[in-house]
Amino acid sequence: MFIKIDNIFSSKLFFVLLLVELISACESDLKFNGEQSKSLLVISSFVSPEDTVKVHVSLSKFFLSNSSYTDVDNAKVDLYLNGQYAATLTHISEGNYFTTTKAHPADVVRFKIESTKYGVASCESNVPILLDKSSIQSKCDNNFFYLSIMDDASTENYYRIVGKQKTEYYTYNLNKTKKMEMVWNMDLKLKNSIENDQLTQFGKTDSYPLYFSDKSFNGKMVTLKLESIGLFSEITYDSVSNVKSFVSTQDTLDYTILDSIRYDIDIQSITKDYYLFIKTSKLVEDKLYLLEPVQVKSNITGGIGILGAFSSLRVSKTWIPNEK
Amino acid sequence: MNRIFITLLLVVSSFSLMGQHVVINGFVTDSLNGETVIGASVYNKVSKQGTFTNSYGFYSIQVPVGKSVVTFSYVGYRSKTLELHLKSDTTINIQMDVNTLKEVVVQARRDETGVQGVHMSAVTIDVDKIKSLPVIMGETDVIKTLQLLPGVKGGTEGSSGMYVRGGGPDQNLFLLDGTPLYNVNHMLGFFSAFDANAIKNVTLYKGDFPARFGGRLSSVVDVYLKDGDNSKIHGEGSIGLISSKLFLEGPLFNKNTTFAVSGRRTYLDILTKPLIAMARKTEPNLPDVGCYFYDLSAKVSHKFSDKDKLFFSGYMGDDVIYFSMPIESSFNSKTFFNTNFYGKNAVSAVRWSHIVNSKLFVNTSVAYTGYRSDVRVSYKSETNGSYAFMPLSIGYDNLNKALTMKTRIEDWSIKFNLDYTPNSKNRVKIGTNLLYHSFVPTINTTISLGSMAIDTTIGGRTIIAKELNSYIEDTYTFNDRWSANGGVHYSLFNVQGETYHSLQPRASIRYLLSDNFSVKAAYSNMSQNIHLLSNSRVGLPTEIWVPSTKRIPPTISNQYAAGLFYNLKNLYDISIEGYYKTMDNLLEYKDGSSYFDVANTSWEDKVVMGKGWSYGAELLVKKDIGATTGWIGYTWAKSERLFNRPGQELSFGNVFPDKFDIRHSASIVISHKFSNKFDVGAVWVYSSGKAGTLALQKYQIEQPEKTSEIDYVGMRNNYRYPDYHHLDLSFNWHKKIKWGERTFSIQLYNVYNQKNADFVLDVLDDNDNKAFKKITIFPFIPSFSYTIKF
């Protein structure tokens, strides 16, 4: 069995286990003698001007509980924009609430969630201003996408980058010519003197998109070099009937010609709360036990969870082979 | 500085011109081996004034011309009283005889810190007492004995951590013959670095710090090594369950030069090796794990004359821990995952003590102290029985690396101290200390061992700091009832172009309500320029010493203490003390940070600063005389932290309890001597639960790309561990043999097998149900040792 260096080495009891091997420590059941805290209202919502407003409402559970999570389906969820009542969200299913109302950049979004059984929770967030297109420069080649962002010095900025690399091939076999499209998630390959919250020496994680603050380059231009992380997010063909797994398709290919590589990069301006939520929840996910305890960022009053907000700017570029 | 110094000398000298007095001075030594006696009481019954021997056994007392009746006393020795008729200054060296009845084995310095003394919150532990108490695996431990005193808490069970009056483990100054020792732990903190055989005297100060001490907020553990017997060579050897040790002392060449050498080594690694090899025959994937430590302390003293002595003292210790686990095997090779830890500790000092005149004692020293630890993680391939380091590649990206982590601290220092007794009312101490620190907080080297080797070194920047400490203190006797000690400690710390100054006042006062009942109060302001970054607080090798820097100012504290001291029938010393302590600029790792976080951030980016406070009451009842001796201690205490500076919030910026915020703790320590052939020791300790952090709720967040399960931690240290207690017993049989004495000891740790919770965790049981578990490190553990004194 392979075990990651960092996980072994930082395992909570690693060093103690060294002694345990030697001096007969033992594990036994312990009755939890603390207060069995009540379930809390959990709110999750990520508001963007590009999308309709959605909120998910559920309950937390006691850490020793074996039951599944409970969605709250009978809550009243009110949306306020810039201090004014805007809409009451409609319950769809499984704790999801929705309204067609959209927020705009610089709006102050506020939710009030009332549940007769679980009380009242509220949260508020500013929707970040959309990045100015002139502050973005980009270029690409067959391997990398180079993204330069000119940071606004007058504000504290937080960014999240979501990238897709779409590679199109023409495949030829005996029967017919097909067009195959493979989409890859993007990740940061190299950094340019930015505070990089995601990379560690022990390998990148692909569980979160790239996120960072402007702490180390405030007011300056930063250039990121992005490449695909080697995991398909999807594969499609020109004909639905021909959708197969990549591996099985590969067996039948005679040859393949690269047609183009298209990069779709979403540069999101995110709120500080959203940034801290991503950062802290990732630490919890990593479960490096020798770390100090992590408290995941929450901005919910009367409950827990996160109201994140972001404005997204898409930059697209296509690279076409010269020889084509 | 010199001008101030001379002025102060002149001021205090002027007192000596008042009245007709002469001075008696000299050394107090043990009549059998010539060891100087530290803290012995020297009391003139005629003038009703007294003093104490200093750390070198030297005393100086001014008495009226004419008749004086001077008594020299120290617990464990027969008192000596001299009737003197003095007309001029006189040197009297006193040799004290050991009380052969051995009725008294433990003593807080009754005169100096008990009812009559001006100081409080300090205790001296007799080394014989330390040796007689039951301990884990028979390894006598100075720090574990100190943990039994009120106001002192140990960390994880069995560890040598010390948490004094709500302070952290880095807030204790451990002095070995006056030189700081940075790492006082062996084997992950389960054993302390001090070998009791080599020690002459241990004094713990947990408040009311005399001005001569500085650099830490919460305690000073002042340890002095034996000088060595000046009459004959003898020693002590012992074999225990996990270690053996040898101590030798005696004259070197002649009576004026003595030595004392002590060494020990554990052999758990040797004992377990065949067992692991045997077990691996049936379970080949079992890890090979082991650890050992050895240490060596030595002291050589040379007496040039009655006025001049030279001392060399040194200590070195090494720790090795290894862990090797097979992770892959093929028909002719095996690949192992290895972790190795090396820790090195070294202290050496040269001291010269000189009696300038009957009133002035000078001590000068040059010292070095250093600590380094290396952690190496790597892979090793074993092919047909031969070993070769090899890179792991083959597609496992996270395994394709080797890692070394190093940390280091080194100090060079020059120290100059003087004790001056200008008259019968004043005892003055003045000194200065210059330190040169060199820190390498972390060097993390990651080597990619794949097709293209990349060596990445992070950190490794040496930080140089210069420190100057100066102090002056005076113990002044107003009259029979009132006495006070006051002083000031000045600290200058220069690092990265930044200079921190600190003027730390200290004061204590005593009022005698009657001869056996007094009330005292004290105030101490302390400053600390170096800090220990620690994740788990159990003395792991992941702890690193770091200095204050441009961004990290020194930690400071203020401690107020008051107490009542009562002596009952000259048998029981009873004291009750209350204290309130504030601490500012405390350092903690940020949420989620650790030593192992080797992203490209410096350690300064991993820490946050805040403040803390603690308060409590301590009761100590101790009996030093008779066949049955010991003490009962009880502490009620509270310790909290607040980290709410913008961007540096912990626990959402709210007040949270310290991990070792233990409300109630008690200890009963008893030794009973049935005869010269047999004695018994018993220790029972109890404390209410320490604090720990648990995510008591879990929840799900629907994110744009995925659903996450998140642990909810409402507050740091939000869970109380179960109460902690255990009873330990020791039985010691002594027998005179032809060339000395042998002692056979049986020690029973945790007699009633209390399964204390050292760690708690939630796991999935066999049925995939959540279960709450505790891990007990030390269940019932019997051990033995066999000691021969020769």
A119 shares its domain with A140: no
Question: What's residue A291's pLDDT?
Answer: 57
By mean pLDDT, which of B253-262, B422-431, B449-458 is the weakest? B449-458
Domain boundary among A65, A93, A126: A126
Q: Is the model's pLDDT at A250 over the cut of 60?
A: no
Question: What's residue A247's pLDDT?
Answer: 38
Instruction: Say yes or no for a CB contact (<8 Å) between B697 and A61.
Output: yes
Question: What's residue B11's pLDDT?
Answer: 45
At B448, the pLDDT band (50, 70, 90 cuts) reads low
CA of B600, closest CA in chain A: separation in Å? 8
Note whether residue A228 is domain-resident.
Answer: yes
B674 against A212, higher pLDDT? B674
A115 shares its domain with A175: no
Q: Is the model's pLDDT at A129 over the cut of 50?
A: yes
Residues 6+ apart with CB under 8 A from B472: B8, B211, B428, B429, B430, B487, B488
- Residues in chain B with CB shorter than 8 Å from the CB of A32 are 772
Question: What's residue B541's pLDDT?
Answer: 53
pLDDT, mean of residues B308-316: 93
Listed ranges A208-217, A270-279, B113-122, B334-343; the one with the highest mean pLDDT: A270-279
By mean pLDDT, which of A133-147, A289-303, B94-108, B186-200 is the weakest? B94-108
What single-letter amino acid sits at A11?
Answer: S
| Cα gap B276→B322, rounded to integer Å | 13
Residues 6+ apart with CB under 8 A from A11: A17, A289, A290
φ, ψ of residue A176 to 5 degrees: the values are -160, 170
- Residues in chain A with CB shorter than 8 Å from the CB of B458 are 201
Question: What's residue B111's pLDDT?
Answer: 55
Task: Write out pLDDT tens, residues B577-603.
Answer: 999 999 999 998 877 665 555 445 577
Task: Write out pLDDT tens, residues B530-551.
Answer: 988 876 544 455 678 889 998 8
Instruction: Say yes or no for a CB contact (<8 Å) between A1 and B327.
Output: yes
Q: Does ipTM exceed 0.90?
A: no
Q: Is the model's pLDDT at B430 over the cut of 90?
A: yes
Give me the domains of chain B, ranges plus CATH numbers: 2-96 (2.60.40.1120), 110-688+723-789 (2.40.170.20)
Question: What's residue B467's pLDDT?
Answer: 96
A97 shares its domain with A215: no
A137 shares its domain with A122: no
Chain A residue closest in CA terms to B190: A19
Q: Does A13 touch chain B (CB under 8 A)?
A: yes
Question: What's residue B538's pLDDT?
Answer: 43
Note whether residue A183 is domain-resident.
Answer: yes
- Residues in chain B with CB shorter than 8 Å from the CB of A123 are none
| Cα gap B506→B528, rounded to integer Å | 15
DSSP element (H, E) containing B517: strand B517-528
Instruction: Say yes or no for a CB contact (<8 Å) between B596 and A9.
Output: yes
Question: What's residue B105's pLDDT?
Answer: 40
| Cα gap B344→B27, rounded to integer Å | 36
| Cα gap B93→B80, rounded to integer Å | 12
Q: Does A284 touch chain B (CB under 8 A)?
A: yes
Average pLDDT, chain B: 83
- Give how far Cα B260 sits from Cα of B77, B179, B297, B514, Å: 22, 18, 8, 43
Q: How far is CA B170 from its chain centroid? A: 10
Instruction: Say yes or no for a CB contact (<8 Å) between B591 and A294.
Output: yes
Instruction: Say yes or no for a CB contact (<8 Å) between B289 and A18.
Output: yes
Is A268:A212 a contact under the CB 8 Å cutoff?
A: no
Note whether residue A146 is domain-resident.
Answer: yes
Radius of gyration of chain B (CA): 28
Q: What percent of chain B has pLDDT over 90?
A: 36
A255 shares its domain with A234: yes
Radius of gyration of chain A (CA): 24
- Residues in chain B with CB shorter than 8 Å from the CB of A26 are 755, 775-776, 779
Q: Is the model's pLDDT at B265 over the cut of 70?
A: yes
pLDDT, mean of residues B197-225: 91
Find the CB nearest A4 among B398, B446, B712: B398
| Cα gap B56→B510, rounded to integer Å | 26
By mean pLDDT, which of B356-365, B590-599, B667-676, B705-714 is the weakest? B590-599
By mean pLDDT, which of B344-348, B655-659, B707-711 is the weakest? B707-711
Average pLDDT, chain A: 74
Question: What's residue B243's pLDDT?
Answer: 84
CA of B273, closest CA in chain A: separation in Å? 11
Instruction: Say yes or no for a CB contact (<8 Å) between A281 and B701.
Output: yes
| Cα gap B299→B36, rounded to integer Å | 14
Is A274:A305 a contact under the CB 8 Å cutoff?
A: no
How many CB atoms sit inside 10 A of residue A266's CB? Answer: 18
A79 shares its domain with A170: no
| Cα gap A212→B132, rounded to integer Å | 59
Instruction: Say yes or no for a CB contact (<8 Å) between A209 and B776.
Output: no
Strand ranges in B241-359 using DSSP code E only, listed in sequence order: 243-252, 254-266, 288-303, 308-329, 333-357
Residue B721: closest CA among B773, B643, B667, B764 = B773
A76 shares its domain with A214: no
pLDDT, mean of residues B684-696: 90
By mean pLDDT, which of A163-177, B219-233, B459-473, B681-695 is the weakest? A163-177
CA of B131, closest CA in chain A: separation in Å? 22
Instruction: Say yes or no for a CB contact (<8 Å) between A294 and B592.
Output: yes
Task: Write out pLDDT tens, residues B372-381.
Answer: 888 877 776 6
A181 against B229, higher pLDDT? B229
Residue B52: closest CA among B130, B131, B107, B127 = B107
Instruction: Say yes or no for a CB contact (<8 Å) between A61 and B773.
Output: no
Is B379:B415 a contact under the CB 8 Å cutoff?
A: no
Chain B contacts in chain A segment 241-280 (CB below 8 A): 280
Find the CB nearest A44 among B289, B589, B702: B702
| Cα gap A87→A9, rounded to integer Å | 51
Question: What's residue B518's pLDDT?
Answer: 94
| Cα gap B382→A91, rounded to integer Å | 63
Domain boundary among A126, A141, A159: A126
Residue A163 belongs to domain spanning: 133-295+310-319
A259 shares its domain with A142: yes
pLDDT, mean of residues B481-494: 95
Helices A14-23 and B268-282 pack at an angle, to 10 degrees, of 90
Question: What's residue B569's pLDDT?
Answer: 83
At B108, the pLDDT band (50, 70, 90 cuts) reads very low
pLDDT, mean of residues B9-35: 70
Q: Does A148 touch chain B (CB under 8 A)?
A: no
Note whether residue A58 is domain-resident.
Answer: yes
Token pair 């103690």 in the structure block, residue: A16
- Residues in chain B with CB shorter than 8 Å from the CB of A2 are 327-328, 396, 399
Domain boundary among A73, A99, A126: A126
Counting the structural domains of chain A, the total is 2
A92 shares its domain with A229: no
For residue B27, what are the β-bridge partners?
B58
pTM above 0.90, yes or no: no
Q: How many residues does chain A have?
A: 324
Q: How many helices (H) and strands (E) does chain B have?
A: 5, 50
Note whether residue A303 is domain-resident.
Answer: no
A209 shares its domain with A251: yes
A216 shares its domain with A137: yes
Q: How far is CA B81 from its chain centroid? A: 36
| Cα gap B686→B691, rounded to integer Å | 15
Is B380:B404 a contact under the CB 8 Å cutoff?
A: no
B115 against A90, higher pLDDT? A90
Instruction: Say yes or no for a CB contact (<8 Å) between A62 and B703.
Output: no
Most A CBs within 10 Å, among B700, B754, B768, B770, to test the A interface: B700
At B106, the pLDDT band (50, 70, 90 cuts) reads very low
How many CB atoms sit inside 10 A of residue B676's CB? Answer: 13
| Cα gap B620→B122, rounded to integer Å | 12
Q: Is the model's pLDDT at A159 over the cut of 60?
A: yes
At B311, the pLDDT band (50, 70, 90 cuts) reads very high
B271 against B3, higher pLDDT? B271
Q: How many helices (H) and strands (E) does chain A have?
A: 4, 20
Question: What's residue B635's pLDDT?
Answer: 97
- Give how far Cα B13 sits from Cα of B3, B355, B359, B470, Å: 15, 17, 10, 20
Note whether residue A27 is domain-resident.
Answer: no
Residue B161: closest CA among B180, B186, B125, B137 = B186
Token pair 């650790």 in the structure block, residue: B594
Chain B residue closest in CA terms to A296: B712
Note whether residue A195 is domain-resident.
Answer: yes
Write the DSSP assignment of B411-464 as a string of letters: EEEEEEEEEE--SSSEEEEEEEEEEEEEEEEEEEEEEE-SSS-EEEEEE---EE
- Residues in chain B with CB shorter than 8 Å from the CB of A291 are 535, 589, 592-594, 596-597
Instruction: Say yes or no for a CB contact (<8 Å) between B757 and A12.
Output: no
Q: Is the model's pLDDT at A60 over the cut of 50?
A: yes
A256 shares its domain with A314: yes
pLDDT, mean of residues B280-284: 78
Q: Is the model's pLDDT at B140 over the cut of 60?
A: yes
As a three-state string, the secondary structure of B382-408 is EECCEEEECCCCCCCHHHCEEEEEEEE
Q: Is the model's pLDDT at A41 over the cut of 90?
A: yes
- Residues in chain A with CB shorter than 8 Å from the CB of B708 are 281, 285
Q: Is the model's pLDDT at A298 over the cut of 60?
A: yes
Question: What's residue B504's pLDDT?
Answer: 97
CA of A140, closest CA in chain B: separation in Å? 25
Note whether residue A22 is domain-resident.
Answer: no
- Residues in chain B with CB shorter than 8 Å from the CB of A3 are 325, 327, 337
